[in-house]
Amino acid sequence: MATTEHLAQLFRETHHELRPRSPVPELRVEFFGFANVNNTIRLRDGRLLVRISDLLEGAPEYVLRAIAHILLAKMYRKPVDRDHAMRYRRYVSTQHMSTKAHLVRQMRGRKRIISARGHAYDLESVFDDLNGQYFFGLLARPQMTWSSERARNRLGHYDPAHNAIVVSRVFDHPRVPRYVLEYIVYHEMLHLKHPVRLRGSRRCVHSAEFQAEEKLFSRLEDAKEFLKCL
Ligand SMILES: [Zn+2]
């Protein structure tokens, strides 16, 4: 298995190949637990910081050399050698690697059948922030998920049968302010806190306590205003 020192040496050699006349900067290489096969390089204060996906920890040397070449070439805006690019791509796309990546994702809990992580917002972090801000962190987080369809008629709902808060995908957009999404999630969190109960024969969904607590949301009026124009 490649050590980070060995990797650093590969990077120094590759650096010398690409820029024979310039000195090799100070280098730090580390394996990093990305969710996917991912590698990054940065030059900061004259130091090169390299992060290699830990999924590549057991990769053969020619693959690591290919990565070093690709990352350094890209950083210095030099053409990427085709053979290196191909070797790397081939290795990463092998069954072995994709199975490994898949297993690691499962272990890290990133893989979800229904996903809280949208393009613009992560519902779990919205829930956690609100939980801390308004509920002293006391609510247990249910399954958080974006709706599969872009429903406009239903902004969000709490599904007690599956213990899930479902939010319309319409709001997973950078033009939707976070406080609007927070308001929708906050409302559903109140449903979590105040279960629907029967009062006489009337099903009381938004009880007086519910409504009073909803008013505590800091940007209630702004959020309602935004939703009016949706
Ligand atoms: Zn409601």
Q: Contact at 8 Å (CB) between 73 and 45?
A: no
Going from the Cα of 112 to the center of ligand 1, the distance in angstroms, rounded, reads 26
Going from the Cα of 57 to the center of ligand 1, the distance in angstroms, rounded, reads 49
Classify residue 61 as exposed, middle or buried by CB count within 10 Å of its CB (0-12, 13-18, 19+): exposed
- Which of 36 and 218 is assigned the larger pLDDT? 218
d(CA 55, CA 101): 7
What residue has token string 């938004």? 206
Confidence band of 22 (pLDDT split at 50, 70, 90)? very high
Confidence band of 4 (pLDDT split at 50, 70, 90)? confident
Going from the Cα of 65 to the center of ligand 1, the distance in angstroms, rounded, reads 57
What residue has token string 């693959």? 63
Going from the Cα of 223 to the center of ligand 1, the distance in angstroms, rounded, reads 15
Going from the Cα of 187 to the center of ligand 1, the distance in angstroms, rounded, reads 6
Confidence band of 1 (pLDDT split at 50, 70, 90)? low
Going from the Cα of 191 to the center of ligand 1, the distance in angstroms, rounded, reads 7
Q: What is the mean pLDDT of residues 185-199?
A: 85
| 9 pLDDT more than 90 | yes
Going from the Cα of 212 to the center of ligand 1, the distance in angstroms, rounded, reads 13
Going from the Cα of 175 to the center of ligand 1, the distance in angstroms, rounded, reads 24
Could you tell me what percent of the chain has a pLDDT over 70? Answer: 83
| 112 pLDDT more than 60 | no
Going from the Cα of 206 to the center of ligand 1, the distance in angstroms, rounded, reads 6
